[in-house]
């Protein structure tokens, strides 16, 4: 059993500090669903809107930042603020659009450890991040297939196949991607995907 939470602000300015607090408070409300480990994903520093003649924002946006920690929510909070200081992230940075993911976990696949915590990623660029509650019954077959296609797995969780599978089938337009994923990973249960 796990708890998943997401926060989206669109066309409303919110500071990074506020976004973090919303994600942490969402996890605190779900902590009864698991406290082996927890994690969040937030957007990197906001970039100025692209000019008409320049590349689109998605071409130049830095990847989202993922924080994962073994232990309860307060362990995650402490770890995140330590990492924020090390990374010199501005807590007052304002985002007019931001999507954040959060997850608290009881381990089902893989031991309680940061690498097995969610969000799980499609790879170093964090193009796709997934938090998930449930069991992917055919994950071993999917994992073997993705490994044959050059994907490297960093965790022992079944969830990691979802973002890697999303990256693998990303060529179709995004609106059809979730349906394709559900077909390939039946019984994947509640999922939130960020791209």
Residues labelled as active-site residues: 2
CB within 8 A of 157, min separation 6: which ones?
A: 109, 110, 116, 118, 120
Instruction: List, in sequence order, every residue forming a beta bridge with 101; answer none if it has no partner.
Output: 6, 41
Torsion of CA 172, 178, 180, 185, to 10 degrees: 140
CB within 8 A of 123, min separation 6: which ones?
A: 151, 152, 164, 167
Instruction: Return the structure tokens found at 21.
Output: 């607090």
112, HSE (Cβ side, Cα atoms, 13 Å): 14
Give the residue among 135, 132, 136, 100 at the shortest CA–CA distance from 118: 132
């Amino acid at each position: 059993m796990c708890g998943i939470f997401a926060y989206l602000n669109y066309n409303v300015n919110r500071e990074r500090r506020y976004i973090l607090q919303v994600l942490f408070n969402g996890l605190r409300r779900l902590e009864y669903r698991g406290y082996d480990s927890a994690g969040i994903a937030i957007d990197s520093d906001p970039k100025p809107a692209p000019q008409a003649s320049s590349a689109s924002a998605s071409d130049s946006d830095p990847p989202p930042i993922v924080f994962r920690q073994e232990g309860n929510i307060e362990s995650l909070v402490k770890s995140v603020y330590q990492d924020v200081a090390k990374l010199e992230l501005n807590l007052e940075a304002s985002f007019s659009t931001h999507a954040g993911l959060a997850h608290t976990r009881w381990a089902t696949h893989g031991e309680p450890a940061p690498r097995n915590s969610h969000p799980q990623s499609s790879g170093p660029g964090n193009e796709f991040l997934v938090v998930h509650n449930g069991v992917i019954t055919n994950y071993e077959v999917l994992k073997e297939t993705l490994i044959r296609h050059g994907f490297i797995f960093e965790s022992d969780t079944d969830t990691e196949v979802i973002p890697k599978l999303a990256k693998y089938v990303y060529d179709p337009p995004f609106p059809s991607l979730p349906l394709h994923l559900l077909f390939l990973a039946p019984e994947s249960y509640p999922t939130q995907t960020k791209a």
